[in-house]
A and B are shown apart, each in its own frame.
Chain A
Amino acid sequence: MNTEKPITPETSVREAILDTPFKDNLDRRNFNAKIFNLVILLATCLAMLILGLLLWRIGEQGLPWLNWNFITSFPSRMAARAGIFSALIGSACIIILTGIIAVVLGVSAAIYLEEMSAKNRINQLIELNIANLAGIPSLVYGMLGLAVFVRFLNFGRSIMAAACTLAIMILPVIIISSREALRTVPPSIRLAALALGATKWQTTWHHVLPAAMPGMLTGIILAISRALGEAAPLILVGGVTYIAFLPNSVYDSFTTLPIQIFNWAGRPQEEFQAIAAAGIIVLLGLVLFTNGIAILIRARLEDKNRW
């Protein structure tokens, strides 16, 4: 180009580019960058939008049916009189038992693998095994529960069998997240305790565990809230949908909130779909509340970054 200006210190690089063919190319690239920016922003918003839509639809359909009677009534053949009392109590019993079993077993296994064991082949095998267990569909755990807890150990189709099944299902998640939490505790804390003559277990119990507790708690709460919303394995273990009494022992038959919702949502009548939505509001309230606690604990942790 004959009109090309000489590049002096006064003309910026940008101005110098303006008259060259490079400019068209740059414009195109900047335009593409803007489009890309817009597309990924929209994609992120779409996920939010679906979440919002889901909550709005469920609120719209379920809220009119949600009242104290709904929570304190037993299921019924008439939608207007049906409630979730037995399902709510069933869910509560099962979740408490599941939590106790899974936390004791899971945290113990994590401590063994992270603190006590030598890094040998056998322990590597256990680790690989746990990683793969985490990817098995929940339904397959239901088959395990059906064969082992319901039949082999003869718990029957009971709260106990359901809790054991769910505990085994969330065990890998709890072990993995607990190990991660243990790993964030710096070795200097262990060394200090050991140097003062504490045994391995004393070191772990009095110093490492308290330090790792918030991180562990996050993983444990998330796992338990997953168990709370899970229905598939419990249907295999034998959750029934019509229970008009409260359990007397852990060997009584059970129903849970997700199973009850599944049953109602699968019926063609509109009233039942509406009370399914009301049940979902209660379930979502519980699940999101527990998830929220876990997310809060983790956010605190990330901000603190203590070590």
Chain B
Amino acid sequence: MPNDTAKVATAGSSLQDQALLKIRWSEIAVVRFLQVCAWISVLTTVSIVGILIVESSAFFAVISLGSFITGTDWSPLIEPRSFGVVPLIMGTVVVSVGACIIAVPIGLASAIYLAEYASLRVRRFLKPTIELLAGIPSVVFGYFAVTSVTPFLQWFLPSTEVFNAASAAIVLGFMVLPMVASLCDDAIRAAPRSVREGGFALAATKAEVSVDILLPASMSAIMASFILAFARAIGETMAVALAAGSTPNMTLNPLVSMQTMTGYIVQVAMGDIPHGTIEYQSIFAVAATLFGITLSLNLLSQMIVRRFARHWE
């Protein structure tokens, strides 16, 4: 009977349908879960921005934004209180610029060596070793600054204070160096072989090829890496908190104690400051400043890469 065969056929396919349906539902559930996980990163950004705005707006209700940004006296814990963030920014900039003065030339030079000069065997040894430097925790560098770098500085510059910006800057420089080296190495190696061979064909020496051809060719990525290194140095905390001290100081002299933005936040967090007080809110205002500066630097470096990057064929 044709009717029966049709029934059997539909019964069979409905069984199959059920199995497929089950798979489909679990499939949809899994994909939804994965989607939620991806959205957590957006949620993170929204919460960070939200928290910084809410908590620091409570701070700016008491202290005017103008006096915070332009004030040159930062004494939040001692009466008469004053919340001028300029000394903290000054400390941060002195330490971070110092770090870049060390990290940029040495990092770039090692990148050229790694990318152009080192043999494959040497490279296999050097690259992981430089990465080990990047893996050393911040607090270890802080310890090294306090117990080794500062005594060394005091030995030939006796005016150096126990806590000083210079030793923080030096260790910070070696902390961000691996990042500079690794990013510049990638940028230089991205240039195709033909570019180098063109230089050699014009009788350029290896150094001339490196400096006059490869460096200008990968300049955008190199500049971007410098900016990223600067941003990293600004956000670095533990080494600076240990080595630079906790005296906000309006000076460019790196041999005296200075407080950075991150150093101040840690100092307040180590003490037990109750929720809702002006000191508590002040760390959110400082963190908002820090967040704003590092975010703009990161965006700037991305913009440089996007606009000026050379796309090798």
Q: Residues of A with Cβ closer than 8 Å to B?
A: 29-30, 32-33, 36-37, 39-41, 43-44, 46-48, 50-51, 53-54, 57-58, 61, 104-106, 108-109, 111-113, 116-117, 123, 125-126, 129-133, 135-144, 147-148, 151, 168, 171-172, 175, 199-201, 222, 225-226, 228-232, 235-236, 258, 261-262, 265-266, 273, 276-277, 280, 283-284, 287-288, 291, 295, 299
Contact = CB atoms under 8 A, between A and B. Distances in A.
Interface stretch (B26-34, B58-66, B189-197, B247-255): B26-34
A148 B208 contact: no
Interface in B273-312: 275, 283-284, 287, 290-291, 294-295, 297-299, 302
Nearest to A132: B298
Is chain B's interface secondary structure helix, strand, loop, or mixed overall? helix
20 contacts: A40-B109, A44-B110, A53-B148, A54-B144, A109-B34, A112-B38, A132-B299, A133-B44, A136-B295, A137-B291, A139-B287, A143-B284, A171-B40, A200-B27, A225-B135, A231-B237, A232-B262, A236-B269, A288-B135, A291-B135
B109 A262 contact: no
A58 B47 contact: no
Interface in B117-176: 117, 124, 126, 128-133, 135-144, 146-148, 174
A29 B143 CA distance: 44
Given A54-B136, A299-B128, A129 B210 contact: no
Contact of A171 (B41, B132, B284): B41
Contact of B205 (A32, A201, A232, A273): A32
A258 B140 CA distance: 8
B38 A126 contact: yes
B90 interface: no
Contacts of B135: 222, 225-226, 229, 287-288, 291
Interface of B: 23-24, 26-27, 30-31, 33-35, 37-42, 44-45, 47-48, 51-52, 55, 105-106, 109-110, 112-114, 117, 124, 126, 128-133, 135-144, 146-148, 174, 177-178, 181, 205-208, 210-211, 228, 231, 234-238, 241-242, 262, 265-266, 269-270, 275, 283-284, 287, 290-291, 294-295, 297-299, 302
Contacts of B45: 129, 132-133
A54 B135 CA distance: 13
A141 B294 CA distance: 13
Contacts of A113: 38
Contacts of A126: 38-39, 41-42
